């Protein structure tokens, strides 16, 4: 991975400044962020759109609330040229590993069996959603805006199940009902409540879609 990152055009333009340069917000906006965007474009050109999440780091970072620990933000993650490229490579690998982990988790529950009763189907969906929420909380350390990543992953899960894209966000928002907080892991009862609420909505939505 590091050799590939080194070969990308953006790798030749890592913004290394003398120690006297203060990496403040202006530096980040005018120099660091454009370089990170260029690196993302180069990575997408090499690997495809899945790689765009390599900067989705823990806590208060580039994108807030993600699972990546190797990268933080341009101000803190751009150092020497070689160290910066190694950080990018590590972040890409970390993001890919997380996506593969999620794919395995999705496959544990989807597709759902066809011979379940309505209540059994809701229970299975609730179990799956609670499982995913718990995994996301652990992976993100329930940091700043962790719930944004949680909503994204749940949206992916619903998409795999066949829920229309235009319905996913409203269903997740209605189930969560503003009960997630930054830097606070939800207690088990809240996870179960959100999972059961979303499960009921998903099953109803899929059944309506099947009839139509």
- Chain segment 138-168, per-residue pLDDT in tens: 999 999 999 999 999 999 999 999 999 999 9
Give CA–CA dist 56/50, Å, rounded: 12
Q: What is the pTM of this model?
A: 0.93
Give CA–CA dist 144/212, Å, rounded: 40
Q: What is the mean pLDDT of residues 85-94?
A: 98
Local structure of 71: helix, strand or coil: coil
Q: What is the mean pLDDT of residues 181-192?
A: 97
Token pair recorded at residue 13: 């333009």
Task: Assess whether pLDDT exceeds 80 at residue 131.
Answer: yes
Token pair recorded at residue 50: 């899945």
Residue 18's pLDDT band, with cuts at 50, 70 and 90, is: low
Q: What is the pLDDT of residues 69-81, one digit of tens each?
A: 999 999 899 999 9
Give CA–CA dist 133/116, Å, rounded: 23
| Percent of the chain at pLDDT exceeding 70 | 98
Q: Report CA-CA distances (Å) from 68 to 17, 57, 144.
A: 25, 4, 13
As a whole number, the mean pLDDT across the chain is: 94
Confirm if 59 and 67 have CB atoms less than 8 A apart.
Answer: no
What pLDDT score was predicted for residue 172?
98
What pLDDT score was predicted for residue 20?
63
Task: Assess whether pLDDT exceeds 80 at residue 21.
Answer: no
The better pLDDT of the pair 26, 100 is held by 100
Long-range contacts of 168-176 (CB under 8 A, 24+ apart): 171/198, 171/201, 171/202, 171/205, 172/198, 174/201, 175/201, 176/147, 176/151
Residue bearing tokens 């890592």: 14
Q: What is the mean pLDDT of residues 106-118?
A: 95
Rounded to the nearest 10 degrees, what angle do helices 146-161 and 118-140 cross at?
A: 140
Rounded to the nearest 10 degrees, what angle do helices 81-109 and 146-161 cross at?
A: 50
Q: Is 18 left (phi over 0), alpha (psi -120 to 50) or beta?
A: beta
What pLDDT score was predicted for residue 59?
83
Local structure of 68: helix, strand or coil: strand
Confirm if 116 and 124 have CB atoms less than 8 A apart.
Answer: yes
Lowest average pLDDT, out of 26-30, 43-47, 89-93, 128-132, goes to 26-30
């Amino acid at each position: 991975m590091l050799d590939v990152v080194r070969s990308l055009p953006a790798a030749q333009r890592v913004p290394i400044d003398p120690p006297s340069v203060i990496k403040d917000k202006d530096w980040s906006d005018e120099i660091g962020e454009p370089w990170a965007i260029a690196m993302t474009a180069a990575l997408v050109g090499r690997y495809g759109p899945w790689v765009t999440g390599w900067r989705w780091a823990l806590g208060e970072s580039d994108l807030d609330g993600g699972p990546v620990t190797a990268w933080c933000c341009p101000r803190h993650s751009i150092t020497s040229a070689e160290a910066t490229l190694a950080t990018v490579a590590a972040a890409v690998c970390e993001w890919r590993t997380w996506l593969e982990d999620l794919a395995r988790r999705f496959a544990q529950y989807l597709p759902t069996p066809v011979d379940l009763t309505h209540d059994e189907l809701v229970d299975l969906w609730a179990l799956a959603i609670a499982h995913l929420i718990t995994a996301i909380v652990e992976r993100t350390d329930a940091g700043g805006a962790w719930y944004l990543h949680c909503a994204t992953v749940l949206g992916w899960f619903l998409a795999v199940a066949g829920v229309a894209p235009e319905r996913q966000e409203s269903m997740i928002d209605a189930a969560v009902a503003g009960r997630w907080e930054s830097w606070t892991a939800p207690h088990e009862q809240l996870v179960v409540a959100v999972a059961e609420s979303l499960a009921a909505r998903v099953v109803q939505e899929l059944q309506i879609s099947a009839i139509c």
